[in-house]
A and B are shown apart, each in its own frame.
Chain A
Amino acid sequence: DTAVSQTPKYLVTQMGNDKSIKCEQNLGHDTMYWYKQDSKKFLKIMFSYNNKELIINETVPNRFSPKSPDKAHLNLHINSLELGDSAVYFCASSQFPQADEQYFGPGTRLTVT
C-alpha cells in the first residue's frame, strides 16, 4: 500500500496555464508538506498544514495555493504557470509538526514550456 501518493507523476503544460497536483496520505498523519526540488536537486519547503491548518508558508508566489480538504489530503494549485515553476514537487507527511521522520511521496515532475 502506498503511504504518500501524488498525482500526476508527470505534468507538461504551457506557460500561463493553471494546474493542480494532488496528494494523499494513508498513514493517519496530522501534518502534510509541499516541497520544491529544483534542477540542482535542492529541496525547499513551500507549505505545511497541520490538521487542515496552514503552519508553514514560505516565501512562495501567490500563484501557488495549497488546499487541504481534510488531514489526509493536501493539494497544490498553481495559477499562471511560468517557466521557472518547472521542477519536481514532493508532498510529504509526518505524524505531527515536530516529528523528525517525514514520509515523502514519489514526486510530480512539472515541465512548463
Chain B
Amino acid sequence: GQQLNQSPQSMFIQEGEDVSMNCTSSSIFNTWLWYKQDPGEGPVLLIALYKAGELTSNGRLTAQFGITRKDSFLNISASIPSDVGIYFCAGRNDYKLSFGAGTTVTVRA
C-alpha cells in the first residue's frame, strides 16, 4: 500500500495550547481524512476533505487538503484534556484507505 509520512510522531500538550500535525505522501490522493483513536477503541472519523485547497472545520479542529493533493494538516485549537489520543491521517483512492503512522498526543504534566 501507499506510505503516508505523518509528523510529529508524538507531542505533549498543555491545556489551552494549539496543536498542529501534518501528513505527506509521494502519491496523490482523491480524499484526505483525519481519524482519532482513544485507548482500547477503534479510530473515529474527525474530518473528511475532498478538494485540493479545501479548508474544513469541525469545532476546534481545522484541516486542509494540500494544493498538490499530496499533503494535509490538522490543527486543534485551545486543546483540552480529552484531546489526548492517537490522530491518524488517511488518504483514499478508489476503495482503499492508506493510513499514516499516527501522532500520539499526551497531556504534559
Contact = CB atoms under 8 A, between A and B. Distances in A.
Bound together: yes
Interface of A: 4, 40-45, 48, 55-56, 58, 90, 92, 97-98, 100-102, 104-107
B88 to A, nearest CB: 7
A100 B48 contact: yes
B101 A41 contact: yes
Contacts of A55: 95
Contacts of B31: 100
Contacts of B37: 41
B11 to A, nearest CB: 14
A55 B44 CA distance: 23
Nearest to A45: B96
B95 A4 contact: no
Nearest to A50: B95
Given A97-B95, A98-B94, A100-B33, A43 B88 contact: yes
A56 B95 contact: yes
